[in-house]
Amino acid sequence: MCSTCGCSDDAGVRITGAAGHEHQHGHPHSPDHPHEHPHQHPDGHEGGGPETIALEQRLLAKNDLLAARNRGWLEGRGIRAFNLMSSPGAGKTTLLERTIRDLGGGLDIQVIEGDQETSLDADRIQAAGRPVIQINTGAGCHLDAQMLRQGLDALDPAPGSTLFIENVGNLVCPALFDLGETAKVVIISVTEGDGKPRKYPHMFLAADLILINKADLLPYVEFDVEDCIRQARMLNPHVEVLVVSATAGDGLDGWYGWLTRATGAPAARAAGHHQAHNRPEALSDAH
């Protein structure tokens, strides 16, 4: 994980608003920052298993403490936060754009975007008409609780709003770092192959909801939907799974229904903005 991939160095993290205004990263070497520096070995050893494991545990424990603070802050303001995680290109931003378009009149949607570089995704959200903050992680391959805290300070989401956190595209490290979110949503696309749960078990163990996206391409790719769901449920028996297409609209009623339940928004107010001609049933045997 991060103790070996090098992303524990947070020196390159930048927080910017939609207009490109940069917010100073205020904790480059703070003792309260969740990132240790696991490549340093003060005892003189060149790094062994026990030392590495201990540093990883301390890193995650410190992050979990900050995540708990984030969770309390969000809950105290009635803000529901959803951590969207996927590999690159699975369709997170397209799903967000479609959700804003369909539900923006019923939910006060605000967004924090995570990417290593550029504000391309934040620009798309801004064009869709919603408040957004970009977090660029530099060499980092995930968002952590401290980064989210800084993003919340910059965005200042309204009480009662719905916050989407689009994590860095990666199916490994984001699964291990609690942000203080209300729920974790894992998105995979049918173009990636159906073996993702077996390959990345920690991500699917952590998921509250799995969205199998780009369902409109199923006739053109080899992807066994039922087997993919079976793999996921072997790891996480109670996880909800929906098959959707963010571009064609397939199955989005299931996604919007899940959001309505998770946010407590009145169903008629939230779902009423979804176009009636995009109402095919989601393929799911969710509880």
Q: Are strands 80-86 and 162-166 parallel, antiparallel or unpaired?
A: parallel
Our CA angle for 74, 246, 178, nearest 5°, is 30
Burial of 176 (0-12, 13-18, 19+ CB in 10 A): middle
pLDDT tier, 15 (very low <50, low <70, confident <90, very high otherwise): confident
pTM: 0.79
Residue 156 inside a domain? The answer is yes
In this prediction, residue 215 carries a pLDDT of 98
Residue 65, number of CB atoms within 10 A of its CB: 13
The least confident of 18-32, 75-89, 97-111 is 18-32
Angle value at C-alpha 190, between 186 and 195, nearest 5 degrees: 75
Q: Which structure tokens are listed for 35?
A: 């990132």
Domain around 131: 13-25+78-271
How many structural domains comprise the chain? 1
44 in any annotated domain:
no
Please report whether residue 276 resides in a domain.
Answer: no
Q: Considering the domain boundaries, does residue 65 fall inside one?
A: no
Asked whether residue 224 is assigned to any structural domain, the reply reads yes
CA distance 265 to 205: 27
Q: Does residue 207 lie within any of the structural domains? A: yes
pLDDT at position 52 over 70: no
The overall average pLDDT reported for the chain is 83
CATH of the domain at 172: 3.40.50.300
- Strands 14-17, 132-136: pairing is antiparallel
Residue 8 has pLDDT above 60, yes or no: no
Interval 52-75 mean pLDDT: 86
Single-letter residue type at 15:
I
Q: Where are the alpha helices (DSSP H) in the chain?
A: 2-5, 49-76, 92-103, 120-127, 145-155, 196-199, 201-206, 225-235, 252-263, 267-271
What's the pLDDT score for residue 266? 64
**40-to-37, 75, 140, 243 alpha-carbon distances in Å:** 6, 37, 18, 45
With H, G, I as helix, E, B as strand and everything else as coil, classify residue 132: strand
For 143-171, what is each residue's pLDDT tens digit? 999 999 999 999 999 999 999 999 999 99
